[in-house]
Structure 1
């Protein structure tokens, strides 16, 4: 089929391919290019019907923008750019190669194969597709759930449903995720955080399984080809990935669930000089990447071969345009920024005190209602947890919460004070410049590291299946195997492991801040000790839904914890607890710390126990209750806590034991009306690594009728 068209001058803005009344406008930034051609082809017969439009810089160039308007193009056109210029990798850092067809950084859809099939054009000819712009959102609007009320659920789109046990009609896809919405509603989470869903090449992994020789995959997807295009292989209909993603967002919104995207702006899949040139390197390498000023080698703060030049104005504009597009056109509710500390480095890699990129994201009016979450470190050792940004909108993955909880729950003594700080919302990190407890995204596990079940089953990582002789992955896991490495049939060890998992879940869900769970932790998913499963597209990474039935008691425990948190605002305060001054009466304090005896917290270097009383000091309108939480971080010793007064001021309240992680389901979590009463002054037994939670129940005084 022959393509017939007409060309016109076009305009320099907006960048990318844009529908205009008279045709499609194509615009590309390339400051150092000598010549630029737009390459077009038909979607169905690309090789046979392909042509190049050479752009005349006198007509088709404004400043550093090359542009052309093409009219009368048929639907389904694919396009790319062929660029000529200097190839001086060791002097100027420029890397033009006119034999390549490059992907437009603003392409909204790619020519992408099904999952696992070779991306034959990568590094040679990478084309964008001009998608159908119309989509009926049917009135969908952002949910705008307050961050302090959020419960985040991190997941991998493919891994969530690809296992045959998911019983999904469209496993491993956005549509498969939609099929699991009833499960997500029953669990009670408020937001899904999707690991990277922009286009990447899962076949670019160079490692092989040492036992089978099978080539592994870049399963996680932290190697973006594009900052815009949704991964077509995550769509059940690869010809309409944008529509299927939108369908999923719309369905999740109808279910009251927000969508947060894990965005990777710190590096791209082009890697170092030995990587494929697909887009940015061939368009303007020293603009898009950080290069050593002398050798022109790539500065590698990402650990992946290159680092994006995030604070260059051109790159800043690209990132902002991508974020706005995902909000405006795809209706996402927020973003988690991978290795976000790189967003704060200047063009020489130095750390900026007030990075423009970080401020722009926080202050952008289009993004004003979105959630913005930083992974506040990078691969070069920069660690900014608590001070990534002073802007009140930036939340952070709180790595110190993760580490302090893990230490307390692996039996390390002397952590009671640190744990108390984390439970209270990490005021040491976030109580400045108008920041609040919700700036802390609390987590114990994430995609990166052990699962919760593995955290209590392995003291050492087992990453041999990754093909790197177990050298990859973090060695500092702060885990404890509970006595035996790996699987065990010992009932006592199994009970200890389950108790530890439930206790950590209680700490996570009952702490101030925003809790984040990892998909499958709620029913004991294991990665068999692999703490870096980035390349495992198999049952190591996939969620086995049979565990939801096998470990239904644990799943029930998570569901009830989440419900407890959502029902009681006392666990998701808007502000930090006030620090009591000398002479402040206990009845006016909102949190009281205790040890084994009331009013006697043990902050010593040998302490492994902690208790706290959360008090609702608002007027008695029946909106909340008081809670007394007891924790035993000792690995072997049973302890007894003496129960304090409910501190309601009426002296007629009683405690009821709603949670005991040492008990089997359903006794481990009881509704208030079913829970046994616990008298003030009673001794409550806590098993090693156990947690008990008491909830107050007001006893109304008996009103006696007056005798007439």
Structure 2
């Protein structure tokens, strides 16, 4: 064992000042010259108040010495007091614990842990490293943290610390919303990007409170769930590259490198006082719930910000490297199924318990409604990296009594080659349906032989999910998401344009199934722009007509662009930010999306939680016969709810570059066909607000221009004739 540096004794500082208090204004509190402490309790882990004492509990199996560092002020680098934990009195099993008397909310703390530094055995203890509590509920981090100041006493401000927080918050009557899956329309967004642009007109740009100011917009659009990209604490400054075009320093904008899994990112708080991000996050959730909008969090348990063996020591590596990570056989290197340098040892019992504790915290204390798990296939790998049939962690999450009602969404693949779409273990787990994305893109791009696949996606992907006992709502349908092109860019660029990322355009997917329709990027050509706008309508309408759960990428509804960048993870600038001026420029497309969401809500047959039966849907070719699924591209179908009172629908799709005449089927109830949606015409005639349109002049035939979609609704003959 290496000798611990004892140059940091418990310093006697006379009076320090801590700024604490809820968002109504911080208060000053004096700090004693030295805190008294006692043995404490091993449970629960993290920091919890027991009367006037704060109990600190930390897991480290192979550590031989633990020190608790207390800071008189969160901005201080050197600790106010260091408490050495005697293994004979402050250790129970693998848990180190101490009760600090008189500690209070707002107190900053960290740990140092000594133990064997034997990389060949998987141990990487460093007694100088300042370690964050894995159970920290708030962090205070340096303004420009470079992951370079691992040791206490370095340059002022380089050390990140945890904050002692309190659970009190006036939730009022707030409860989980528990929307049915069939009621969900998910909107994926980034907390900062949503409102940081000057055009957002919010009071607190780029923050949790900024999200609150956008709630009237969400209500107008009609979404029922907000899926937020990672907001657990991360370091925006860990990226060291520069934009080769502008010279701008790049940042970790997306946040997919978590540091503390129970701490809301401080950068999304207003900074009113240390730790304010906790209260402000709760205010955001409460306000969204009052608006009947669920909150889903994108969580990243597959890897951490510590990277590979050359990365920083932040917490897990310095607490017990061989427990928390999957290691190669040489024990020096990390298995990398995440593509980010390391892989969390998710199915170790200790790590399983930790992940479950984190999820419970977000549900019980922060009131979130569900989770989207990044690279979730990793959660099904055992300690040797092998996929197992019934992964203990996935079953534990699905069956946990506290998590029983929350929504669970898996990104059902990883960077190690595991692609489990349709095969992700457990009936409760829904999945991002990457097959849906690709097939719908290819169909509307005009790729040959895609009609059958498109029909399957529209019907809920029974070919993917039915064999495993799952339903259409297990499919999270999407055409675009944060990872890839925006909808506008999908129809404007044939190739990715990621040069601003500083990786010579090597990063990001090369398989986008996109098209530019005659010109790469923006153009003044009215013909090209008309085709692009029509294709965006086709893609969005298809999404909202499909069984399954639709997810819209935030900003797509007003044609947000990333200038052809399909991997904008490091672009904390106008490439990624929502430019709300586009809402005025593209108001007609916003209205189309809004009305399509409303159309879906008015026709529940589109979102039923069961697959269509043969008698519910009839497919036909433009000529009116049975489709040739290999040769035909254009398709039509009639949808009805057998035994229900819902209006029958007729959907017509023409992805070809030529206009086609469809022979229309007979109405199902003896009424007439009324056009409700037509992507080939200009706004506002492209969609009717309440299907109040006139009956088709010709009830037998309908011409569809190239690359267009039409939705017909059966109306009563007498009422329709009166409007004619």
Report the TM-score when normalising by structure 2: 0.92
Matched, 1:591 2:613: no
1:306 to 342, 354, 367: 342
Other-structure match for 1:132: 166
1:675 to 663, 683, 693: 693
Report which stretch shifted further, 531-540 or 41-50. 41-50
Other-structure match for 2:716: 698
1:612 to 637, 653, 676: 637
Report which stretch shifted further, 413-422 or 671-680. 671-680
Other-structure match for 1:250: 286
Cα deviation, 1:53-73, whole Å, max 9, x if unaligned, reads 111111111111111111122
User: How far apart, CA to CA, are the structure 2 residues paired with 1:701 and 1:149?
Assistant: 30
2:243 to 198, 206, 209: 209
User: How far apart, CA to CA, are the structure 1 residues paired with 2:66 and 2:188?
Assistant: 42
Kindly state the Cα deviation for residue 607 of structure 1 after the two structures are TM-superposed.
2.2
Matched, 1:426 2:461: yes
Judged with a 3 Å threshold, the aligned counterparts in structure 2 of structure 1 residues 45 and 686 are, in CA distance, closer, same or farther, namely closer
User: How far apart, CA to CA, are the structure 2 residues paired with 1:695 and 1:632?
Assistant: 18
Cα deviation, 1:424-466, whole Å, max 9, x if unaligned, reads 0001111145421100000000000000010001110000000
Contact 2:136–2:162 (Cα < 8 Å) also in 1: yes
User: How far apart, CA to CA, are the structure 2 residues paired with 1:536 and 1:73?
Assistant: 40
Kindly state the Cα deviation for residue 295 of structure 1 after the two structures are TM-superposed.
4.6
Contact 1:4–1:73 (Cα < 8 Å) also in 2: no
User: How far apart, CA to CA, are the structure 1 residues paired with 2:476 and 2:33?
Assistant: 52
For residue 79 of structure 1, give the secondary structure of its aligned residue in structure 2. strand
Contact 1:654–1:680 (Cα < 8 Å) also in 2: no
For residue 350 of structure 2, give the secondary structure of its aligned residue in structure 1. helix
For residue 533 of structure 1, give the secondary structure of its aligned residue in structure 2. coil
Matched, 1:520 2:555: yes
Other-structure match for 2:375: 339
1:296 to 325, 332, 336: 332
Kindly state the Cα deviation for residue 47 of structure 1 after the two structures are TM-superposed.
4.0
Judged with a 3 Å threshold, the aligned counterparts in structure 2 of structure 1 residues 462 and 360 are, in CA distance, closer, same or farther, namely same
Judged with a 3 Å threshold, the aligned counterparts in structure 2 of structure 1 residues 610 and 545 are, in CA distance, closer, same or farther, namely same
Judged with a 3 Å threshold, the aligned counterparts in structure 2 of structure 1 residues 508 and 672 are, in CA distance, closer, same or farther, namely same
User: How far apart, CA to CA, are the structure 1 residues paired with 2:329 and 2:585?
Assistant: 57
Kindly state the Cα deviation for residue 374 of structure 1 after the two structures are TM-superposed.
0.1
1:642 to 644, 663, 674: 663
Other-structure match for 1:363: 399
User: How far apart, CA to CA, are the structure 1 residues paired with 2:706 and 2:424?
Assistant: 37
User: How far apart, CA to CA, are the structure 1 residues paired with 2:691 and 2:342?
Assistant: 58
| 1:158-557 to 2 correspondences below 5 Å | 158-237=192-271, 239=273, 240-389=276-425, 391-557=426-592
Consecutive unaligned residues of structure 1, counting only runs of 5 or more, are 581-588, 703-708
User: How far apart, CA to CA, are the structure 2 residues paired with 1:166 and 1:30?
Assistant: 46
Kindly state the Cα deviation for residue 681 of structure 1 after the two structures are TM-superposed.
4.7
Contact 2:676–2:691 (Cα < 8 Å) also in 1: no
| 1:140-159 to 2 correspondences below 5 Å | 140-159=174-193
Kindly state the Cα deviation for residue 132 of structure 1 after the two structures are TM-superposed.
2.6
2:648 to 602, 626, 645: 626
For residue 228 of structure 1, give the secondary structure of its aligned residue in structure 2. strand
Matched, 1:96 2:125: yes
Contact 1:40–1:80 (Cα < 8 Å) also in 2: yes
User: How far apart, CA to CA, are the structure 1 residues paired with 2:244 and 2:181?
Assistant: 44
Displacement over 6 Å in runs of 4+: none
Kindly state the Cα deviation for residue 45 of structure 1 after the two structures are TM-superposed.
6.2
User: How far apart, CA to CA, are the structure 2 residues paired with 1:465 and 1:74?
Assistant: 46
Judged with a 3 Å threshold, the aligned counterparts in structure 2 of structure 1 residues 553 and 660 are, in CA distance, closer, same or farther, namely same
Matched, 1:24 2:58: no
Kindly state the Cα deviation for residue 693 of structure 1 after the two structures are TM-superposed.
0.6
Kindly state the Cα deviation for residue 283 of structure 1 after the two structures are TM-superposed.
0.3
Judged with a 3 Å threshold, the aligned counterparts in structure 2 of structure 1 residues 45 and 641 are, in CA distance, closer, same or farther, namely closer
User: How far apart, CA to CA, are the structure 2 residues paired with 1:237 and 1:81?
Assistant: 24
Judged with a 3 Å threshold, the aligned counterparts in structure 2 of structure 1 residues 206 and 476 are, in CA distance, closer, same or farther, namely same
Kindly state the Cα deviation for residue 645 of structure 1 after the two structures are TM-superposed.
1.1
Kindly state the Cα deviation for residue 148 of structure 1 after the two structures are TM-superposed.
1.7
User: How far apart, CA to CA, are the structure 1 residues paired with 2:617 and 2:299?
Assistant: 37
Contact 1:113–1:119 (Cα < 8 Å) also in 2: no
User: How far apart, CA to CA, are the structure 2 residues paired with 1:120 and 1:235?
Assistant: 24
Kindly state the Cα deviation for residue 423 of structure 1 after the two structures are TM-superposed.
0.5
Report which stretch shifted further, 432-441 or 211-220. 432-441
For residue 470 of structure 1, give the secondary structure of its aligned residue in structure 2. coil
Contact 1:113–1:232 (Cα < 8 Å) also in 2: no
User: How far apart, CA to CA, are the structure 1 residues paired with 2:433 and 2:168?
Assistant: 40
Number of matched pairs: 682
Contact 2:253–2:570 (Cα < 8 Å) also in 1: yes
Report which stretch shifted further, 129-138 or 281-290. 129-138
Contact 1:642–1:681 (Cα < 8 Å) also in 2: no
Judged with a 3 Å threshold, the aligned counterparts in structure 2 of structure 1 residues 468 and 537 are, in CA distance, closer, same or farther, namely same
Kindly state the Cα deviation for residue 700 of structure 1 after the two structures are TM-superposed.
5.5
Kindly state the Cα deviation for residue 173 of structure 1 after the two structures are TM-superposed.
0.6
Report which stretch shifted further, 242-251 or 62-71. 62-71
Kindly state the Cα deviation for residue 674 of structure 1 after the two structures are TM-superposed.
3.7
User: How far apart, CA to CA, are the structure 1 residues paired with 2:496 and 2:137?
Assistant: 39
Other-structure match for 1:87: 117
Consecutive unaligned residues of structure 2, counting only runs of 5 or more, are 1-14, 16-31, 153-158
2:704 to 682, 686, 694: 686
Contact 2:105–2:163 (Cα < 8 Å) also in 1: no
Cα deviation, 1:2-49, whole Å, max 9, x if unaligned, reads 443222211111111111124111111101001111111123563465
Contact 2:191–2:207 (Cα < 8 Å) also in 1: yes
Contact 1:655–1:680 (Cα < 8 Å) also in 2: no
2:594 to 542, 554, 559: 559
Contact 2:409–2:430 (Cα < 8 Å) also in 1: yes
Judged with a 3 Å threshold, the aligned counterparts in structure 2 of structure 1 residues 504 and 122 are, in CA distance, closer, same or farther, namely farther
User: How far apart, CA to CA, are the structure 2 residues paired with 1:616 and 1:336?
Assistant: 32
Kindly state the Cα deviation for residue 121 of structure 1 after the two structures are TM-superposed.
4.8
User: How far apart, CA to CA, are the structure 2 residues paired with 1:440 and 1:41?
Assistant: 48
User: How far apart, CA to CA, are the structure 2 residues paired with 1:701 and 1:32?
Assistant: 78
For residue 369 of structure 1, give the secondary structure of its aligned residue in structure 2. coil
